[in-house]
Amino acid sequence: MNHLPEDMENALTGSQSSHASLRNIHSINPTQLMARIESYEGREKKGISDVRRTFCLFVTFDLLFVTLLWIIELNVNGGIENTLEKEVMQYDYYSSYFDIFLLAVFRFKVLILAYAVCRLRHWWAIALTTAVTSAFLLAKVILSKLFSQGAFGYVLPIISFILAWIETWFLDFKVLPQEAEEENRLLIVQDASERAALIPGGLSDGQFYSPPESEAESKTKQKGRK
């Protein structure tokens, strides 16, 4: 029962804010409305929003950063050629970092395909990559012998885990909500412009002119007051 007043207050606040936004939009003249619509349509013609482009850049950074760390690890542990042959051609799950690099490639391909090429507006792709990354890294840390191989045994798994979850947070709390908000604004502005097109150019004061009262009507009103 105590939650009812709070729910009613939240509903009233939401309705008041929506009505306020609608009043602000309807107070704009048709020229400004058309300018806003053109600006929103121009963003759509770009093909990808600015916040989604930033997300794709961060996904690319994820791949490049993990690749850089892996190359440094190869060079530190006896030279790139020898260590590369040992970790790739003679792959060992318990001691190789090659699978962590492949995990970064997997995240990059899935996320770029889903959110840059297909322009997906759902979280299932990022949920898949984050779940696979988290499960694989947890299993590798528990079962493998990475911690006995120096600092990179800690750095690569931790960095990969953190980057995967930052991507999830950025998409879920920045990309999808901001794009949904921009789409709602576009729909509201388009609806307001359609209504403004149906309204005449303006009403003159003469349309609201009321004729003066006759003497008979004024006498009738005075008698009624008495």
136-183 pLDDT per residue, tens: 999 999 998 887 888 888 899 999 999 999 999 999 999 999 999 988
- DSSP-based three-state secondary structure for 148: helix
**What is the band of 42 on the pLDDT scale with cuts at 50, 70, 90?**
low
- Per-residue pLDDT tens over the stretch 169-219: 999 999 999 999 988 887 787 666 666 666 655 444 444 445 555 555 555
Residue 114 has pLDDT above 80, yes or no: yes
User: 44 vs 22, 39, 49, 55, CA distance in Å?
Assistant: 23, 9, 7, 17
**What pLDDT, on the 0 to 100 scale, is given for residue 25?**
47
CA distance linking residue 34 with residue 7, whole number of Å: 37
Cβ–Cβ < 8 Å for 133, 118: no
Residue 131 has pLDDT above 80, yes or no: yes
**What is the band of 31 on the pLDDT scale with cuts at 50, 70, 90?**
low
Among 167, 100, 83, 91, CA closest to 139? 100
**What pLDDT, on the 0 to 100 scale, is given for residue 151?**
84
pTM over 0.75: no
Q: Exposure of 141 by Cβ count < 10 A (0-12 exposed, 13-18 middle, 19+ buried)?
A: middle
Neighbours of 164 (CB within 10 A): 22
**What is the band of 63 on the pLDDT scale with cuts at 50, 70, 90?**
very high
